[in-house]
Amino acid sequence: MLKTWFGAASFELGSLVILLSSTTGTAALAAYALAHAIGSALIALALLPLVPARYARPRRWVLLFLFSFSFFVPIAGLVCVLGGLVFSLVLPRFSPADAFGRVEVPRFTTHRNAEGTGFRGGQVRAQLANDRAPVAARLTALSAVQHTPARLTGGILRELLADPVDDVRLLAYGMLDGKEKAISARILAARDVLAGGVTPAEARAAHRQIAELYWELIYQSLVQGDMLTFAAGEASRHARLALESDPDDAGLWFILGRLGLASDALAEAGRAFDEAGARGFPRERLLPYLGEWLFRQRRYSDVRALFGELRGKAAAPALLPLRRFWGPV
C-alpha cells in the first residue's frame, strides 16, 4: 500500500515538474499526460482498498471512476474522493430494509365458524362482504342487522344491492326500502295534518316533525342523488317555517347547521350553529360540528382551541381520536 502511494506521489510530482518546466511542445504534453495517467492509475489502486465493501463493486467500474476523478480533476479530484470516503465511513449506513421489521401475517376469518350462533363485532360485516360464504349464513347475518340503524349499516346494504346471490340482494333491498318507506309514511301523515285545519301551534309542530324526518332520511343514508338534494331542501324549508313561529327552537337551528355542512353552505351553517348555541343547545354536542366547520375553512388553530374546551369533559368514544389529535385529552 505504501509503495503504491509512494509511486503515485512520484509520478504526480514528475508530471507537475514537466508541466511547470519551460519545455513546450507536443512531446512535453505527451510526457505530462503519460506521467499523470500512471500516477492517477496508482492513486485509484491505492484508494480502492479504502472504499467500503458495499461501494467497491463492480471492481472494474469503481477503479475507472477513481482513475477518472484523479486524471481529469488533478489534486481536487483526489481531495474530493478522500472526503467522500471519510463521509461514507463516519455517517451511519442507511438501508431501505432497515426501516421495516418482519411480522407474522394476521389471521382473518371471512366467515364465522360452524359452532356457535351469535355474531361479534366486525364478523357480520365480514360475513356479508364474503360472497363465498354459505348463503344461509349470510342471510342470518343480514337478518341480525335489520333492526340496526341504517346510518351504521347503509353502506354495506347498498353494496349488497349488487350481490350475485338473489336472496341476499333482495333482502338488502327490502331492508333499505322498508326503512325509507317507514319514514316516508310518517312524512305523508304530517303533511296530511298540515293540509287540514290546524292551529299555528299544530302547524309549527308538523313543520318541525317533517324537517326532522327528512333529516332522518339524510342522516341514515336512505336517500342519494336527486332524492338527497330534494330531502335536504325540504328539511331546510320546513325547519325555517317552524322557526318563523318559534325562533328559539335550538334543535331546528342545529339541523339547519348540519344541512349547511352537508351542502357546503358554510356561511349558513355558521349562522345556524351560532343561533343554536345562543338558544341553549348543549355546547358539548355542538363542538364537534363547529370543529368540522372551522376545519373546512382551514382555521386549524381555532379547531385546536375549540377541542381544548373538551379537556377533562366526558365525550363520545368516537371523539377520543379527534381529541388526541388536536390536543391533550
pLDDT tens digits, one per residue of 129-158: 777 778 888 888 777 777 776 667 777 787
Phi and psi based region of residue 58 (left: phi greater than 0; alpha: psi -120 to 50; beta: remaining): beta
Domain with 137, as residue range(s), is 120-196
Whether residues 17 and 70 share a domain: the answer is yes
With a CB cutoff of 8 Å and minimum separation 6, the contacts of 35 are 11, 12, 14, 15, 18
- pLDDT for residue 119: 47
Within a domain: 253: no
Within a domain: 294: no
Q: Which residue has the cell 360464504?
A: 133
pTM of the predicted structure, to 2 decimals:
0.58
Within a domain: 221: no
Number of domains in the chain: 2
10 Å Cβ neighbour count for 124?
A: 20
C-alpha cell at 64: 475507472
Q: Which of 196, 214, 239 is the last residue of a domain?
A: 196
Whether residues 177 and 133 share a domain: the answer is yes
- pLDDT for residue 312: 64
Dihedral, 244, 247, 252, 256 alpha carbons, nearest 10: 80
Q: pLDDT-based confidence at 278, cuts 50/70/90? A: very high
- pLDDT for residue 185: 93
Least confident of 45-49, 113-117, 250-254, 298-302: 113-117
Q: Which residue has the cell 505527451?
A: 30
Within a domain: 257: no
Within a domain: 314: no
- pLDDT for residue 78: 66
Least confident of 88-102, 165-179, 250-264: 88-102
Whether residues 62 and 131 share a domain: the answer is no
Whether residues 54 and 7 share a domain: the answer is yes
Within a domain: 54: yes
Within a domain: 13: yes
Whether residues 9 and 79 share a domain: the answer is yes
C-alpha cell at 50: 479504502
- pLDDT for residue 254: 94
10 Å Cβ neighbour count for 53?
A: 6
**pLDDT (mean) for 1-5:** 66
Whether residues 7 and 80 share a domain: the answer is yes
SS (H, E, C) the chain: CHHHHHHHHHHHHHHHHHHHCCCCCHHHHHHHHHHHHHHHHHHHHHHHHHCCHHHCCCHHHHHHHHHHHHHHCCCHHHHHHHHHHHHHHHCCCCCHHHHCCCCCCCCCCCCCCCCCCCCCCCHHHHHHHCCCCCHHHHHHHHHHCCCCCHHHHHHHHHHHCCCCCHHHHHHHHHHHHHHHHHHHHHHHHHHHHHHCCCCHHHHHHHHHHHHHHHHHHHHCCCCCHHHHHHHHHHHHHHHHHHHHHCCCCHHHHHHHHHHHHHCCCHHHHHHHHHHHHHCCCCHHHHHHHHHHHHHCCCCHHHHHHHHHCCCCCCCCHHHHHHHHHHCCC
Least confident of 191-195, 210-214, 313-317: 313-317
The yes-or-no verdict on residue 167 having pLDDT over 90 is: no
Whether residues 80 and 144 share a domain: the answer is no
Whether residues 132 and 67 share a domain: the answer is no
Q: Which of 140, 172, 196 is the last residue of a domain?
A: 196
Q: Which of 196, 218, 241 is the last residue of a domain?
A: 196
Measured distance CA(91)–CA(123) in Å, rounded = 50
With a CB cutoff of 8 Å and minimum separation 6, the contacts of 281 are 250, 251, 253, 254
Task: Please report, rounded to a whole number, the percentage of residues in the chain having pLDDT higher than 70.
Answer: 75
Within a domain: 108: no
- pLDDT for residue 111: 42
Q: Which residue has the cell 484523479?
A: 70
- pLDDT for residue 117: 40
Least confident of 44-48, 96-100, 138-142: 96-100
